[in-house]
Amino acid sequence: MATGSKGREPVTRVEKILAQIGAKHLRLETVDIDTSFFDLGGHSLLAVSVFHEISQQLEVHVPLGSLIRAATIGELGKLIDEMLSSDSSTSSALIPLTRDSNKQASEKQNGLYLVHGAGGDVLLYQKLIQHLGEEQTVFGLQSKGLDGDTDPLKSISEMA
């Protein structure tokens, strides 16, 4: 939403930083932190530069695929706060793509696992996930190196 929107204002330090980054990259004066990045005009190519800046400013690696299940600043802020408090520096290629994927981690055998055909970016599954419904737990494999912070894997043995 552009200037003058009546949306919720950022409260936490992380939300404030995310709102500033989002407004800058979306070329808006302010953003409603409860409106989806995609509804604000965001797209997958823009998301790469947004997540790169998030990683620089907050010093945390947030998988690009997180944008599917945490598409608002409020949701992404909660996810980043959890990541910062867990102090986990390991990054998994398996990305939960639905909001309750982490809660249902013990039921992973019942989840839907999506493996990209080309490009390695799980953002291409956004529309599919919207149509599957909230009961379906979905995970995607995100290629390493798409974030610009790590080198891409170059061989099958590295990927394994």
- Return the higher-pLDDT residue of 146 and 4: 146
Mean local confidence (pLDDT), 1-19: 76
β-sheet bridge partners, residue 1: none
**9: DSSP letter:** P
**81-127 confidence digits (pLDDT tens):** 988 887 554 456 677 777 665 544 444 457 888 877 666 677 778 78
Backbone angles phi, psi at 103, to 5 degrees: -65, -35
- Return the higher-pLDDT residue of 8 and 159: 8
**23-76 confidence digits (pLDDT tens):** 999 999 999 999 999 999 999 889 999 999 999 999 888 888 888 888 999 999
Return the CATH class of domain 13-159.
Answer: mainly alpha
**pTM (2 d.p.):** 0.62
Give the pLDDT of residue 51: 93
For residue 14, how many other CB atoms are within 10 A of its CB?
22
User: For the chain, which residues make up each domain, given as ranges?
Assistant: 13-159
Give the pLDDT of residue 132: 84
Give how far Cα 99 sits from Cα of 3, 4, 32, 49, 103, Å.
Answer: 29, 30, 20, 23, 8
Give the pLDDT of residue 21: 96
- Return the higher-pLDDT residue of 76 and 139: 76
Is the Cβ–Cβ distance between 146 and 110 less than 8 Å? no
Give the pLDDT of residue 89: 47
Confidence tier at 147 by pLDDT (50, 70, 90): low
Confidence tier at 4 by pLDDT (50, 70, 90): very low
> What DSSP string runs through 95-147?
EE-STTTTTTGGGGGGSEEEE-SSS--GGGGHHHHHHH-TT--EEEEPPTTTT
CA–CA separation, 102 vs 92, rounded Å? 13
- Return the higher-pLDDT residue of 146 and 132: 132
